[in-house]
Amino acid sequence: MMRRCLPVILASSLLIAVSQPVAAQPPSPPPFDLPFAKPPSPETWMFEQYYGNTLDASNYGKYWYAAGQGLHFGMDFEAPCGTPVTAIADGVIDQIDNQLFGAAPHNLVIRHDQYGYVSVYGHLHEKVTLLRGQPVKRGEVVAVTGDPDLNCHSRPHLHLEIRSLDYRTAYNPAPLINADWDMLYSLHPSDFSGFAKDLRRPNRWQFNEDQPPTDFNGNAVNNFSQSWPASYRVQPPPITLPATLAQPLNANMPIHLQRLTQTGCCTRPWWTPDSQAVQYLDIQPDQDLASVYQVGLRGGTPTVISASPPAIVAPNGKYEVRVIGNNMTLVELATDKRTNLFTRGAYPRFSPNSTRLLWHIRPADDIPGEIAPRTEIWIADVATGEATLLRTQSGGAVRWLDEDRLLISEIKNYSQDVSLSILTISTKEVQPLIETSFMRSLTVAPGGKYLMYALYFQDKPDASGVFLLETQPGAVPKQLPFFGGWRWRDSSSVLYIPFGETPMSLVLYDITTNSQQQLQVPKFETFRIATADWEVSPDGRHIVFVEGRDHAIWVIDLPVRDWF
């Protein structure tokens, strides 16, 4: 893997003689355009990573972003190698393949004196044919995308930065580029997306638009003593709920929107198992560390439930795994029976019916672009706490399908090739399910009968999109008639946000009947989900989300038929 930190340190020190004023507050309207001529789609390009205090920066900052205070000091756009890159505004070619800027194998810097910034385009496929001092126009093709691992099948993407004219400060591109960022990010699952929380200041740097500038001569700002979510290395597998069938929706009635918290509070909310309340992390002025708060469906005064970090709660609501001292401790809530789990710091996940626990142990960080570490997959019995090593593999991940089956995912080194297989616990048998590439947003239906995922950048353009796959060997993927970010409502339906539509809307898709139902929004009301931060309640009757405009937690009551 090519390190990107040292070259940037050199750039800031060698170019210190260039004395230019630091750009002031972002102008309105935004002065820059997106760096592509074509609109985003699974065939062209997709937005990958925000600028700033991202989860990737929290996990990989010491490897990749040490020169930029640990922050991701640009934005990343996934795109196949060779995708044309356009100038984001009129400007003059300033630097070509100056490796002091990093972002190998090739880079380009365009100077925009009229706005007080330069734009940096990194990980280009080939050296540009333009000349230093040459003027370029907004929208003019100036380069093509590449891959930092040089093979066009590992991490092909464009890294875009906006810096001061003296190169020493990087700014958040979000308020400077004319784009619908919440929509562009809406395909991401909630588990591994968004921004890291400092548990001593849990509401700082949680939104796309409030990220700090990067001082390339400054110290790390996101090396938090306690953060959440847990690091990728010890993070629990995604949750799989038990099989469920939600009440039908009334097509003639609108959804109901209600704000639960004050403006600015909070992000990453989650449901209680009974679907009657929402929990989240917040802090009061007299607190040193964030607590877990709870608020009911109709709002009201939030109550403190526990200290942070949050417990891992069983789907049946009868058990929790808590961090007590240095141990992961299984707690039976009715009796307060406690059992220490020897997970080596890894967070476990309960099975759908809450009878088992699952976790993976990684001896080192699994860094994209490097050889994956050996990963141990463990389970434990909830009744006894007895643990069993099921499997060791190279990198990858695991999640529950049902009480006796696990979904195993493995990624070939230096590639986007993914293989999925099913491990049956009772027999230890592993059966292949599917092999594909550029898989994104993999989710498991409640009960584990189906998977849903997106495929980007397939060789045949019509083979990119959203797919459904039954979790049986030999099953054939079915391409679905929509594209947008989704969440499972029950075992046979999802709610999705159509990609590219403004304002946002919600559609119910039934996988058994292939039918769709557009949900009505009350007149004069809209909603805007920030950072793909939304979850459907376990009973399928509500949605909790973070509003992109007031940064508060809201709930959507779905028009369930038994209301009327």
Nearest to 200 by CA among 287, 72, 98: 287
Who contacts 550 (Cβ-Cβ below 8 Å, separation ≥6)? 259, 263, 264
Whether the pLDDT of residue 9 is over 80: the answer is: no
Output the pLDDT for position 414. Answer: 85
User: Whole-model pTM?
Assistant: 0.93
Output the pLDDT for position 25. Answer: 62
What is the average pLDDT value for the chain, to the nearest integer? Answer: 94
**What are 406-431's pLDDT values in tens digits?**
999 999 888 999 999 999 999 999 99
Tokens of 387: 């643990």
**What are 300-332's pLDDT values in tens digits?**
999 999 999 999 999 999 999 999 988 999 999
3-class secondary structure per residue, 57-73: HHHHHHHHCHHHCCCEC
- What mean pLDDT is predicted for residues 470-498? 98
Output the pLDDT for position 536. Answer: 99
Kindly provide the residue ranges of all beta strands, DSSP E only, lying in 206-286, ordered along the sequence. Answer: 214-215, 227-228, 256-259, 270-271, 277-282
Whether the pLDDT of residue 8 is over 70: the answer is: no
Backbone angles phi, psi at 286, to 5 degrees: -90, 10
Residue 534 pLDDT class (50, 70, 90 cuts): very high
Nearest to 489 by CA among 533, 455, 534, 536: 536
**What are 219-246's pLDDT values in tens digits?**
999 999 999 999 999 999 999 999 999 9
Nearest to 467 by CA among 443, 491, 433: 443
CB atoms within 10 A of CB 396: 19
The number of CA neighbours under 13 Å toward the Cβ of 97 is 10
Output the pLDDT for position 370. Answer: 86
CB atoms within 10 A of CB 472: 11
Percent of the chain clearing pLDDT 70 (strictly above): 95
Q: Which residue has the tokens 């997306």?
A: 193
CB of 450 closer than 8 Å to CB of 460: no
CATH superfamily of domain region 5-225: Glucose Permease (Domain IIA) (2.70.70.10)
Tokens of 122: 């990194």
Whether the pLDDT of residue 356 is over 90: the answer is: yes
- What mean pLDDT is predicted for residues 400-404? 99
Whether the pLDDT of residue 14 is over 80: the answer is: no
Please state the separation of Cα 155 from the chain's center in Å.
Answer: 16
Output the pLDDT for position 494. Answer: 99
Q: Which residues pair with 307 in a beta bridge?
A: 291
Kindly tell me the number of DSSP H helices and DSSP E strands found in the chain.
3, 41
Nearest to 127 by CA among 138, 140, 142: 142
**What are 19-60's pLDDT values in tens digits?**
333 444 667 899 999 999 999 999 999 999 999 999 999 999
pLDDT, greater one: 345 or 17: 345
* CA separation for the pair 242, 226 (Å, rounded): 32
Who contacts 197 (Cβ-Cβ below 8 Å, separation ≥6)? 206, 224, 227, 228, 229, 267, 268, 281, 290
Domain residue spans in the chain? 5-225, 256-563
The number of CA neighbours under 13 Å toward the Cβ of 72 is 25
Tokens of 551: 């940064």
256-563: CATH number: 2.130.10.10
Q: Catalogue the long-range contacts made by 189-193 (C-beta closer than 8 Å, 24 or more residues apart).
A: 189/238, 189/441, 189/442, 189/443, 189/532, 190/268, 190/532, 190/533, 190/534, 190/535, 191/238, 192/55, 192/232, 192/235, 193/55, 193/531, 193/532
